[in-house]
Structure 1
Amino acid sequence: CRATKLHLVSLVKCRRHAEALTIAKEYMAVAIRAYGPRDAHAAMAMNDVATLTWRRDPNRGLALYQQALDVFRQTPAGARQVAPTLYNMGLAATRVNKLRQSIGYFKAARDAAAATGDRTTISSCERMSSTVVDIAATKIQRWVRDCLYGIAPSQTSRTDLCSTLTWSDKDDVASTAGDIMHTTAVLGGANEAQDAPESDDAFGSETTDR
């Protein structure tokens, strides 16, 4: 198990990501057989696979992070891994435009980091939370502009946009709330038929890699 882990680390350092993912999966299988699926060693292995997966397959990465997180929360050895795992889950959720979900992960990660005194993770969470809120504000402003000029809202649900306002009390988001309510009142129900089904990823794809 240790030899496989060292091999994995060397591949990651050499940026041989495809090979690293193969070895990470092998390491996860070995760790689960050796320690059992509810051991911190196995959870760390799941974490490694998730870290190499989430950029290409965010949903798979999120699922693996969640499995690892469940174990970390139940084992003393995994306590310090809770905050970094939640932070990574926030990144993965942002990549698939699940912005409300990502804000929740960053907040939970910040709280977990505060409990262990992890200042680096606290700072990273605050920075990413602000970034995601800014992305949401930009999306709202674009939606309002499109409505004002008679352009279809482009797979954007008014309900999703309004719920965005609960993410932060930032001035730019709050002022945009007024714009949305005014525009909605002017347009009435004209755009209701154009609204897409509500979903977390209704914001389009521009937010990836931000």
Structure 2
Amino acid sequence: MSAAEIAIVWLSLKVAICATLFSLPFALGTAWLLARGRFFGKSALNIFVHLPLVLPPVVTGYALLLLFGKQGVIGGFLDDAFGVTLAFRWTGAALAAAVMGFPLMVRAIRLGYEGVDQGLEQAAATLGAPKRAVFWSVTLPLISPGILAGVVLGFAKAMGEFGATITFVASIPGQSETLPSAIYTLLQVPGGESAALRLIAISVVISVAALALSEVLAQRAIKRVSGR
């Protein structure tokens, strides 16, 4: 592998990890609202959260560009107030990947919440445990398999995201060129097939490793929750 290919792999991992870690707290809260909440507009929130799954990724990327570009409402504020630029930067790629993977994370974690026996939470509360302690000691361990599934899905989506990312941040070497965009570019260049195949092989290895790690951790979480 060349230094440029190593940089592409490293940037892709950085984008995927940052996108997943950034999304996780919001996914936990949103999944709880959709699983347990009773409020006006719940259906609208559910539709909004899952919208990136059904919209063309290019549309999502263009919406991000309008909002977070230098001329956008949010992007302009961030640039003026903090000097933060997201468009055409790796941070923008992480944001695009986070937005695209967020619905998958929420869906998996929501299933985890819905699978929890609320009688266990009520029993802990009856024994005097505050709500925060109930969440950390009862709810969180029980939904951990769902969280792991959501993290893997979010990471995999972030690693493979192309449409929204290339629309929002383009494919700038060293700045926003991730594995999917690099592979696409190499396939358009005569003689680029061998480099593209190397990057494809690395993508497969990373994906398989992530799935294998997720399976091991999920099995451990299930055994811990079931007491086996």
State if a TM-score over 0.5 links the two structures.
no
TM range (shorter): under 0.3
Q: Which has the higher helix share?
A: 2
TM-score normalized with structure 2 length: 0.24
TM-score (norm: length of structure 1): 0.25
